[in-house]
Structure 1
Amino acid sequence: MNHRTVSAFTFSLLFVCLLGSTWSVLAQTTKEALLTLDGKPVEIDELVYLISKGRNTDTPKSGVSREEFEENLDLFINYKLKVREAEALGLDQAEEFSREFNSFKETLIYPYLIKNSLEEGELRKAYSRMQEVVRASHVLFQFPPNASSDDSLIVLKMALKVKAEIENGGNINELAVQYSDDPSSKINKGDLGYFTSLQMVQPFEDAAFNLQVGQLSDPVLSNFGYHVIQVQDRQPNPGQVRVSHILVRFDAENQTQEENARRKISDIYAEIQKESTVWEDIVKTFSEDPATNQRGGMLPWFGVGNMIPEFEMAAFSLTEIGEISPPLKTQYGYHILRLEEKKPIDTFEEMEESIRSKILRDSRSGMIQSQVVAIQKARYGFVENDASLALLAQALNQTNKSSFEPALISRSLENTPLFTLQGKTYKAAELAAYIKAEELSPKVKGGTFDIWYDRFVASTLAQTEEKDLEANNKEYQMLLKEYRDGILLFSLMNQEVWQKGITDSIGQVEFYRKNISRYQWKNRIEAYIVKVLDKTKLVNARQVLQGNGFNQTLIQNFEANFKANTPLAYQTESGIFEYADHEILSKVNLNQTFQEIEVDGATYLVTLGQKFPAEPRKFEESRGLVIRDYQEYLDKTLTDTLKRKYPIQINAQAKEEAFLALNH
């Protein structure tokens, strides 16, 4: 939210009192207008909503006093007057307003959409699963390129055959080496190690998290093929760990090199056991990981499923900070690990955006969108014309985007019905117009008609849901109106009050002259005030300041030679001060040029100079205050003018109803 937005939103809530209530009070009001402004009705709900929204719901309900209600009503009327004036000036028709308001709408509507509730469910489910880690093995059966339905059936039968072997006593890890199309199975024998939510493709994750330890899945279809999955273990998620390591590399194909690496890592491990050994020195000298050997072998934080299984298991088995693991072998070489830090899994609030980002990047995003469309279709009475769709698909699937509309017209298919939604029939010509307006083509496979028809349906359903919310969701209506009016209010105030108050220098001077009595200096005096923070430095300061009177040379000398050299010993201020209300000067003898006083246990050395009688401030000395007061004057003048310009009639009965609703 930018500065302009904050200002508009904040100002629209200036009249909101912080009492205790809930949105439910709106249900207790009628549709009767609270007032008419320039002949246009303003509903009770709007006032009740804005007051209720500003209340502190964490405190017990206390209601609204009559006085507070009247004050808020006056502010509300002033607010509505300014919004009306903004409309009269056409500010709601400006391009800048439309751009800003439409940007707001995209954000404001999201919590009310079907999609949001479905996404929220997936977020919560993913985080719930993250409380656990699962260890599973699998056998993967991939489809051949350009597989036919017969090919897919053959692959499924093979998966079922291997599943039966496992159920009859076969070992899934041995069978993975024999049958799996997962290249890593030759190394890990199908053992995927521990993982948690959002680290596997969705069908695989769903199946694994629904299996008990030792249980075997039916063949699970994913984009990779069919998986037969067996869960080996389930554990609470240990969170995240940070380790440093030493690495000694070797070529896996060279047994001599591997043996030499094994001896070297053993010697390093023995050296580390000595009390005099410095870990960082050993890492720098012996580790063959160039990315970490100059910084103590430090690796980034990681959780389960982020490292190769054997490295990960060794890291999480360490329990004490500084604990060192025995040498372990991975595909990268031999390692020794040292535990640096551990922490539990982050809270949902800390992980929410990360989880959302991952969900929107994987297949769950498509699943959510499919569910959204299905719910929208059911809610808004969506009925397809199957015969027309078949005809259009046959005629137009082979066209491209640019030739779609000409092909439709040449076949006289423009008026072919596609579907009915909320009683309205949408035709092929509307699909063609939609395609023409879209600049980019979707990067998915399929026939032109089929692809664009699905996009058109989704877009039309989304627009229908948005219109439904605007027409029937009272809370969203009020929120939308609040932001719309807030932007208009800001635009008007910026134009007529804030910017004018800053830039109208002639108006500022005139206001200053007419109100000169507001801008008066009280009796003043020149003073240099030194607060002694270090009492051992008091004598030195006293010797320099005493008997010399107030002068700039003295001040500059003290600042340069004493305060600068011992900055923690003194705190100083100098200038011309109104002394009557000054914390220190109000306590000194104004007839003595130097004095030492105690205030609240602190010692002050005060040097006094010339006195100045009460007098008007110069305009330049008052400019900041004048601008503030001038803006307040412009605001009041604007409000008074609008009250004369736009007639207001208050409905006494509706006003009382609003008061009672807020105190129910």
Structure 2
Amino acid sequence: MNLRNLFFALLTGLTMSAQQQNSGKEVLFTIDKNPYYTDEFIRVYNKNLDLVKDESQKNLDQYLELFIGYKLKVNKAFKLGLQNGTQYQNELKSYRTQLSKNYLMDSKVTQELLDEGYERLKKEVNASHILLMVDENAAPADTLAAYNKIMAIRDRIVKNGEDFGTVAMAASQDPSAKENKGNLGYFTAFRMVYAFENGAYNTALGQVSMPVRSRFGYHIIKVNDIRNNRGEVAVSHIMILKPKEGEDPTKAKTTIDEIYQKLQQGEQFEELAKQFSEDKSSSTKGGVLNKFASGQLSSEEFENQSFALTKENPLSKPFETAYGWHIVKLNDKFPLRTKDEMKMELENKIARDDRSKKISDALAVKLRKKYPVKPESKLYKEIAKSVDDSFYKGEWKMPADLKKFDTKLFVIGSKEIKGGTFMDYLYSQQKSAVGIKPVSKLVDYYFSRFADEQRAVFNNENLENEYPEFAAVMSEYRDGLLLFDLMEKEIWQKAKTDSIGLKDFYEKNKQKYLWKTRFDAEIYSSTKPDVMKKVLALLKKGNDAKTIKEKFNSEKELNVMMYDGIYEEGADALPKNIKAGETYTEISQKGEYYYIAKIRKVIPAGVKSLEECKGRVTNEYQQFLEQNWIDTLKKEFQININKDVFERVKQQIKK
């Protein structure tokens, strides 16, 4: 984990409990007259209690010093203008967008969609459909004509008994219907657009749905089969491509049969896949494919053959698909995970899916009640009057004089929305204008949408005022971003690059960086004491490690392990009975293992060189620079602590 990731991992840990705010607050201290309050200090102190290892940091007087130091750095960052950096602003905006998601949705509707989606995932539906295309923004007359037409097609099937597949081939505007008779195969939740999914899952087995409207047009859906979700399967395959026109049609079948015979003789699947498989994307990996679920591949036959495999029968016989001949080997099966295990994945699917509109619609209803909008009548009439039928052709132009429209149209909370903003919105919508007529109703329709958008914008902008816990988390993240950039600039980089300063710090403090006595040694271990007696005897006769390992170890059995290096006194790797002045230790036991050490050299205790302890020295040099820097900041900024308030904070925390 790099420094930046570690820094924000810690920061995230600090913000997890931000909701536990203290309702009462007083000014604890000021920095250049900027107030900092007791509630933030108490919250951060309580959150950090389990994280700090240094007991001194749990001392409230000591912690106040640390907290003031933290705020001094933030003030310095603002003074240097780091908050104006493009990268800083982009990161802060991105984080706020992620954090705000939980506040900008209807949790009840979200949970209902999550429950519905998971229940549907338990089943796989095989369905056929007939599609009549109609634009989402089609005029009402065109929409009605398409509806009547699809109903007439449905009557041919339901009332007259015509075959669904035959009618689909003749009438469906889905190009694939000519080949598949409208059959879409098996699918489950989140695979189709939400409207179509609703139609399929709400239609009984063997029945034909009433017309279903999706963004593509009108569908009628016939449910052919319903089965339990098969989960996911991971397989490897060997594939011989379908012969090209003019090639021997029997060659591929002969080749796949020969490969299958080799497998039956015990040859390795992975090696045969590398040699013979003509699927170049998987052959180099021994034929391994990514795991998949029903409906994810373009070949239903391949899916069925794969899911039919079991641990007892993990290899398929050769079978043919539209792409060629295959042999499939089962690697693993993955049943449908629990709802809790899939919660985050389901939430992401919902957010990307058409069903997310139900969440935004539910929020819009709440916001309409929370922020009722009443436009200024005179101005609204002027705007409506300026729009004419050219809007439907995308040719409408705003009036030349827009000044009279640049006044208050309505208010949301504390935010004033001007008529000119609505005019701009209208102008942007005409290229995809809906077919609502007359034009006055069209303007009313777009005003309703515009008002919803403005409510949503204000609600988002107002989160810090609406939710104290959101404001607290954002404040901590904002400060954390600035602090990281500042520390990188002022301390961390300097400690890494200031070689003279680092060396000088080491020289002044090198008596802290000491080696204990060290042993340059070979360590032998075994679980067999009789073997170790023989090893010790051979060592005393001058035999080396290679000779010993060759004598006691074989390809089938490993009796003796040896590792060597330089080990400090007290290291776990050293036998406990090792002593300076010996060449060999006697056999000692630790747990199930027996140990012998051959000592090549004893290195006396002494001061570590800078290179030997550079990591620790650099870390302590950073702390030294930081403390000196904070002392400088204390002189640069004016700090006033309300001592009476701090005493009350102490009493409150102790309770």
TM-score w.r.t. length of structure 1? 0.71
Aligned partner of 2:562 in structure 1 is: 570
The aligned amino acid for 2:475 is: K
CA offsets, 1:100-126, max 9 Å, x none?
434433333333322888667655543
- DSSP 3-state at the match of 1:152: helix
Deviation at 1:188, TM superposition (A): 3.5
Q: Does structure 1 residue 604 correspond to structure 2 residue 593?
A: no
Single out whichever of 204-213 and 634-643 deviates more from structure 2: 634-643
Check 1:10–1:45 CA distance in 2 against 1; reply closer, same or farther (3 A cut): same
Aligned to 1:553: none
What's the offset of the Cα at 1:185?
Answer: 3.5
Residue equivalent to 1:659: 653
Secondary structure in 2 matching 1:193: strand
Identical positions, percent: 27
| 1:234 and 2:226 are equivalent in the alignment | yes
Shift, 1:375, TM fit: 4.4
Post-superposition offset of 1:476 = 0.7
Alpha-carbon spacing, 1:39–1:333, altered in 2? closer, same or farther (3 Å)? closer
Q: CA 1:54/1:195 → structure 2, altered by over 3 Å: closer, same or farther?
A: farther
- Of 212, 220, 223, which aligns to 2:215? 223
Mapped to 2, the partners of 1:424 and 1:295 lie a distance apart of 60
Q: 2:522 corresponds to which residue?
A: 530
Mean CA deviation greater in 599-608 or 494-503: 494-503
Unmatched 5+ stretches in structure 2: 435-441, 527-531
Question: Which amino acid letter does the alignment assign opposite residue 420 of structure 1?
Answer: V
SS in 2 for 1:483: helix
Partner of 1:648: 641
What residue in structure 1 maps to residue 21 of structure 2?
A: 26
Residue 479 (structure 2) pairs with residue 479 (structure 1): no
Q: How has the CA–CA distance of structure 1 residues 175 and 457 changed in structure 2, closer, same or farther, with 3 Å as cutoff? A: same
1:191-270, aligned counterparts within 5 Å? 191-242=183-234, 244=237, 249=242
Q: 2:333 aligns with which of 342, 364, 379?
A: 342
Looking at structure 2, the residues matched to 230 and 322 of structure 1 have their Cα atoms a distance apart, in angstroms, of 35
Distance 1:459 1:186, change over 3 A: closer
Native 8 Å contact 1:141 1:180 kept in 2: yes
Q: Which residue of 1 aligns with 2:294?
A: 304
The 5 Å alignment of 1:117-156 reads: 122=113, 125-143=116-134, 149-156=140-147
Q: SS of the counterpart of 2:462?
A: helix
Instruction: Name 2:69's counterpart in structure 1.
Output: 81
SS at match of 1:597: coil
**1:157 and 2:144 correspond:** no
Residues 1:49 and 2:43 aligned together: yes
2:383/2:423 contact within 8 Å kept: no
1:467 to 1:393, Cα distance in 2 relative to 1, 3 A: same
Give the equivalent residue in structure 2 for 1:548: none
SS across alignment from 1:596 = coil
Specify whether residues 316 and 392 from structure 1 end up closer, same or farther in structure 2 by C-alpha distance, changes over 3 A only: farther
Q: 1:245 to 1:563 in 2, by over 3 A?
A: closer
Aligned residues: 616
Q: Residue 487 and residue 321 in structure 1: after superposition, are their counterparts in 2 closer, same or farther (change >3 A)? A: same
Q: For the structure 1 residues 304 and 13, does the alpha-carbon distance in structure 2 shift closer, same or farther, using more than 3 Å as the test?
A: closer
Q: Which secondary structure does the structure 1 equivalent of 2:432 belong to?
A: coil
For 1:494-513, what aligned pairs fall within 5 Å after superposition?
Answer: 494-495=488-489, 497-504=491-498, 507-508=501-502, 511-512=505-506
Match of 1:381 among 372, 377, 394: 372
SS in 1 for 2:186: strand
In 1, Cα distance between the equivalents of 2:276 and 2:92?
62
Q: How far apart in 1 are the matches of 2:138 and 2:457?
A: 39
Corresponding residue number in structure 2 for 1:555: none
How much has 1:653 moved relative to structure 2? 6.6
**Cα–Cα, structure 1 residues 508 and 393, in superposed 2: closer, same or farther, change >3 Å?**
same
Q: 1:518 aligns with which of 512, 519, 531?
A: 512
- Does the 8 Å contact 2:122/2:229 carry over to 1? yes
Q: State the alpha-carbon separation in 2 of the partners of residues 569 and 297 from structure 1.
A: 38
**Inter-partner Cα distance in structure 2 for 1:274 and 1:636:** 70
In the other structure, the counterpart of 1:552 is none
Contact 2:11 2:477 in 1 (8 A): no
More displaced 10-residue stretch of structure 1: 70-79 or 331-340:
331-340
- Provide the secondary structure at the position in 2 that maps to 1:533: strand
How far apart, CA to CA, are the structure 2 residues paired with 1:11 and 1:81?
16
CA contact under 8 A between 1:195 and 1:305: conserved in structure 2? yes
d(CA) in 1 for partners of 2:136 and 2:78?
62
CA RMSD of aligned residues (A): 5.6
Q: 1:179 to 1:648 in 2, by over 3 A?
A: same
Per-residue Cα deviation, 1:80-99 (whole angstroms, up to 9, x for no partner): 33313531563473233545
Report how far residue 25 of structure 1 moved: 5.0
Corresponding residue for residue 445 of structure 1: 432
| Paired residues of 2:27 and 2:37 also in contact (CA < 8 A) | yes
8 Å contact kept, 2:129–2:182: yes
Show the 5 A alignment for 1:444-463. Answer: 445-446=432-433, 460-463=454-457
Which shifted more, 309-318 or 220-229? 309-318
SS of the residue corresponding to residue 305 of structure 1 reads coil
The CA distance in 2 between the partners of 1:617 and 1:291, in whole Å, is 54
Q: Deviations over 1:481-525 (max 9, x none)?
A: 222233344445445554444455555555556556535566x57
Code of the aligned partner of 2:640? P
- 1:339-394 Cα shifts (integer Å, max 9, x gaps): 55432134567766766666565544566555555544443334456535534544
CA contact 1:532–1:604 (8 Å) conserved in 2: yes
The residue number in structure 1 matching 2:438 is none
Q: Distance in 2 between matches of 1:638 and 1:120?
A: 50
Letter in 1 for 2:293: G
1:606 to partner: Cα distance? 1.5
Shift, 1:298, TM fit: 6.5
Local SS of the residue matching 2:189: coil
The Cα of 1:217 is off from its aligned counterpart by: 2.0
Measured in 1, the distance between the counterparts of 2:469 and 2:381 equals 41
- The Cα shift of 1:205 comes to 0.5
Change beyond 3 A, Cα 1:518–1:410:
same
Asked if the contact 1:321–1:340 (Cα under 8 Å) also holds between the matched residues in 2, the reply is no
TM-score (norm 2): 0.72
Distance 1:443 1:415, change over 3 A: closer
Code of the residue aligned with 1:477 in structure 2: it is A
- 1:396 and 1:295 map into 2 onto residues whose CA distance is 61
SS of the residue 1:211 aligns to:
coil
Kept in 2, the 8 Å contact 1:8–1:489? The answer is: no
Distance in structure 2 (CA, Å) of the matches to 1:134 and 1:309: 13
Contact 1:262 1:334 in 2 (8 A): no
Q: Is the 8 A contact 2:211 2:218 kept in 1?
A: yes
Preserved contact between residue 383 and residue 421 of structure 1 (Cα < 8 Å): no
Asked whether the 8 Å contact 2:243–2:252 carries over to 1, the reply is no
Whole-Å Cα distance in 1 between the matches of residues 571 and 59 of structure 2?
33
Q: How far is the alpha carbon of 1:531 from its aligned partner?
A: 0.9
Q: Which of residues 175, 178, 182 is equivalent to 1:190?
A: 182
Q: Distance in 1 between matches of 2:320 and 2:514?
A: 83
Residue of structure 1 in register with 2:529 after alignment: none
**2 CA distance for matches of 1:263 and 1:8?**
57
CA contact (8 A) 1:520 1:616 kept: yes
Asked whether the 8 Å contact 1:140–1:227 carries over to 2, the reply is: yes
Structure 1 pair 147/517, CA: closer, same or farther in 2 (3 Å)? Answer: closer
Cα contact 1:537–1:569 (8 A) shared by 2: no
- Are residue 108 (structure 1) and residue 102 (structure 2) matched? no
Please give the secondary structure, in 1, of the residue aligned with 2:224: strand
> Closer, same or farther in 2 for the Cα pair 1:587/1:482, shift >3 Å?
same
Q: SS where residue 226 of structure 1 aligns?
A: strand
Structure 1 match to 2:7: 7
* Counterpart contact for 1:382–1:422, Cα < 8 Å: no
- The alignment partner of 2:642 has SS state of strand
